[in-house]
Amino acid sequence: MKGIKVGIITPYFYPHFGGVSTHVYQKYRILKNQGIDVKIISPDFGECELISTQDHIKLGKPIKIVYNGSLSHITLAFGAKEILRKEKFDIVHLHEPYHPFCIPFVSDDTGYRYLSTFHVFKEEVEKMILIISDTILKSIKSRIRNFIAVSNSASQMLQKTLGIAKEKIRIIPNGIDYKIFSEAKPLEIFNDDEFKILYVGRLEPRKGVKHLIRAFRTVKKIIPRSRLIIVGDGFKTYYMSFLTDEIEKDVLFLGKVGYEELPRIYKSSDVCVFPSTRGESFGIVLLEAMAAGKPVIAGNAEGYVETLQNGRYGIIVNPQDEDALARAIVEMYYREDLRKELSEKGKEYAQQFDWQKIIGKIIDLYESTLTS
């Protein structure tokens, strides 16, 4: 594969916080380490110090919109065709190809070999279909040679919503840098005597953070020396409105944190809780927590249920039932045997999602695309 040039086009990238940004960065990093020429094309979310400026092409400023309980961004990629003509990629790998940012890169017959990865959930695709015409949808679909879904849930969504044949979809899960999470050292700033409950993700309605904060009110009464740590950005002021005097000093909003610091925060926790109510096609944060050796409680969003294999590797609850969520957290506190069991099983399970294993599947697909 050395000597080829790959263009990764994504509507989300650092410093935007989320699973797609993490996925794209890790794929870029490993492909570069294997001697492949890679460039990322994304909207301009700000400065990203993780990659060379020569390898990061920014087009347009993203505009924030709220749709169906989720914070999204719309960016128009003016100049897309000029970039494709200049860069002369061998392969163009689109992430969320029906996103308005990606459409200009694939809407005309450029002769490029296109692959696509779908991370999205049903509501997001339906939103895209409302924005673009059926003619454009068909045109884009006809030019993509290989469709990748990050999970069975995502694959089924593509089949039902976009009419893509099952045999044309390759399931390649998201990956994690297993070593960086498993070998991280806890941060010294946290009190070891406290039971630390960690949430990592965006602060938006479908993520269920308000249910977690409300559940923590009950948890705090039963476990006085407990703390809720919230990592991620979004509607912080809205979620702070759910704090009461009894819990305010024990709920810590850390905002966005650097990728190097995140594994240490996982390691500092006692249990990780991801109370999404819907709209998850996969669960990168679940795997990161498990790689760090932490037990997981997750909402019953479809992709989370699949990632945890119906509760085999973590506790699944309906996060809108805040009493049930509180009970799950309290049980995890009192049952050290359960914490240990889930930690050990989860850590072993997460190894299969290490990027060193996932990248081989992507490179195989690149090779078959080049020869097709």
In the chain, pLDDT over 70 holds for what percent of residues?
A: 93
- In this predicted model, what pLDDT tens digit does every residue of 105-155 receive, in sequence order? 987 667 788 999 988 765 555 556 555 656 777 777 888 888 999 999 889
- In this predicted model, what pLDDT tens digit does every residue of 6-41 receive, in sequence order? 999 999 999 887 888 989 999 999 999 999 999 999
User: What is the overall mean pLDDT for the chain?
Assistant: 90
For range 209-230, the mean pLDDT? 98
User: Do residues 199 and 73 both lie within one domain?
Assistant: no
Question: Averaging pLDDT over each range in 68-82, 106-120, 296-310, which range is the top one?
Answer: 296-310
User: Do residues 208 and 145 both lie within one domain?
Assistant: no
Instruction: Report whether pLDDT(350) > 90.
Output: yes
Nearest-angstrom CA–CA distance, 204 and 212:
12
- In this predicted model, what pLDDT tens digit does every residue of 84-104 receive, in sequence order? 999 999 999 999 888 888 888
Q: For 22, how many CA atoms within 13 A lie in the half-sphere containing its CB?
A: 23
Instruction: Report whether pLDDT(67) > 80.
Output: no
Report yes or no: 343 and 271 within 8 Å, Cβ to Cβ. no
User: Do residues 292 and 168 both lie within one domain?
Assistant: no
User: Do residues 237 and 115 both lie within one domain?
Assistant: no
Type of residue numbered 194: E
Report yes or no: 41 and 10 within 8 Å, Cβ to Cβ. yes
User: Do residues 143 and 209 both lie within one domain?
Assistant: no
Angle between helices 284-291 and 336-350 (to 10 degrees): 110
Confidence of residue 180 (pLDDT cuts 50, 70, 90): very high
Report yes or no: 176 and 284 within 8 Å, Cβ to Cβ. yes
User: Do residues 358 and 347 both lie within one domain?
Assistant: no
DSSP structure string for 121-134: -HHHHHHHHHHS-H
Instruction: Report whether pLDDT(224) > 70.
Output: yes
Nearest-angstrom CA–CA distance, 351 and 24:
19
User: Do residues 112 and 255 both lie within one domain?
Assistant: no
- At 120 the pLDDT is 72
For range 197-205, the mean pLDDT? 94
User: Do residues 155 and 237 both lie within one domain?
Assistant: no
User: Do residues 164 and 21 both lie within one domain?
Assistant: yes
Q: How many domains does the chain have?
A: 2
Q: Which of 267, 207, 167 is nearest to 71 (CA)?
A: 207
User: Do residues 362 and 333 both lie within one domain?
Assistant: no
What does the DSSP 8-state code read for residue 184? P
Determine how many CB atoms are found less than 10 A away from the CB of residue 245: 6
User: Do residues 239 and 297 both lie within one domain?
Assistant: yes
What does the DSSP 8-state code read for residue 177? -
Instruction: Report whether pLDDT(327) > 70.
Output: yes
Question: For residue 275, is the peptide bond before it cis, meaning its omega torsion is within 30 degrees of 0?
Answer: no
Contacts of 285 (CB under 8 A, 6+ apart): 19, 200, 201, 272, 274
Instruction: Report whether pLDDT(259) > 90.
Output: no
Of 27-41, 53-67, 308-322, the one with minimum mean pLDDT is 53-67
Nearest-angstrom CA–CA distance, 41 and 22:
15
Domain that holds residue 47: 5-175+354-371
Type of residue numbered 95: H
* Alpha carbon distances (Å) from 107 to 10, 142, 266: 15, 10, 41
Beta-strand runs (E) in 226-362 = 226-231, 251-255, 271-274, 296-299, 315-317
User: Do residues 204 and 262 both lie within one domain?
Assistant: yes
Entry field: residues in the chain: 372
Q: Which of 243, 200, 238, 186 is nearest to 220 (CA)?
A: 243
Q: What is the CATH number of the domain that holds 274?
A: 3.40.50.2000
- At 145 the pLDDT is 86
